[in-house]
Amino acid sequence: MKTYEPVPPRRVAFLGLGVMGHPMAGHLARAGHGATVYNRTAAKAQTWVGEYGGHAAATPRAAAADADFVFACVGNDDDLRSVTLGSDGAFAGMKRGAVFVDHTTASAEVARDLSTAATALGLHFIDAPVSGGQAGAVNGALTVMCGGDAGAFEAMRPVALAFSRAVTRVGDSGAGQLAKMVNQTCIAGLLQGLAEGIAFGQKAGLDMKLVLEVIGKGAAQSWQLDNRGTSMVDDRFDFGFAVDWMRKDLGLVLDEARRNGAHLPITALVDQFYSDVQALGGRRWDTSSLIRRLR
């Protein structure tokens, strides 16, 4: 059970109650922050209220009214714009000085654009994508990488620790999204290496669960090996971070690389491998399903 640090209660809103947002908002409520929630499918917001209390709002603007911090976790750049901008968007309802904290994995470009728009309205915008997946959200153990104003970040950080184990500012606006792109790039390469190693060992007739136990005590150890190695050996992928989501994230990485001139041959290749997994019917399989291509 998550233990919450004592933090003065704040008025918060949470926009987007999917597999990540639902438990994240729940941790905020359990930590004592008065929460108003919004979800595009209103029934999900009512379900959340039935579980955690608080209130459901009909629009992002209504949810954000009077909140000190407005958190969001939606699907992509377009979804993020839809809950922030326009007459029903959160920015239209937020009070001056309030902080919008975006946990969506989105582009650095949209983060910078929305930061500029927020500043013009006397608001603060923090791009704050997360790592740790659904299990991290449920357990309140996410890692959050943030970009934006240092003062706004420091005000937000103790509140966000309700659903996180680490909340770190890595730079100015957009830097959080760029750091998440680094995260996804590293994961993609690690998973492909792990898939090839397991496939090789199985072809060689090794007891791969025993081999993983052995090499997990040495230089090959990683979170992916510890948490996905055995399920890869067992050919189980009906859980975790979906291939569709990873392809969206790697698309952001490759778009940014085209802008900044970074050369990412392995990332581009693994992205195509995930396309192969999608063609095999694995759109919702865990990202460790890369090994399916090798069997």
Structure tokens at 201: 């060992």
Angle at 167 between CA 284 and CA 228, to 5 degrees: 35
> Do 243 and 284 contact (CB within 8 A), yes or no?
yes
Residue 180 annotated as catalytic: yes
Reading phi first (left if > 0) and then psi (alpha if -120 to 50, else beta), residue 143 is in beta
Residue 41: closest CA among 21, 23, 67, 24: 21
3-state secondary structure of 263: coil
- Look up residue 207 and give its amino acid: D
Beta carbons within 8 Å of 226's beta carbon, 6+ residues apart: 216
Catalytic residue from among 180, 203, 209, 217 = 180
Give all strands (DSSP E) within the chain, no chain letters: 11-15, 34-38, 55-56, 69-72, 99-102, 124-127, 130-131, 142-147, 164-171
249 CB-side CA count, 13 A: 27
Residue 253: closest CA among 188, 197, 198, 182: 182
Residue 202: closest CA among 229, 226, 227, 222: 229
Give me Rg for the CA atoms of the chain.
Answer: 20
d(C-alpha 228, C-alpha 239), whole Å: 11
- Give the β-pairing of 142-147 and 130-131: antiparallel
Catalytic positions: 180
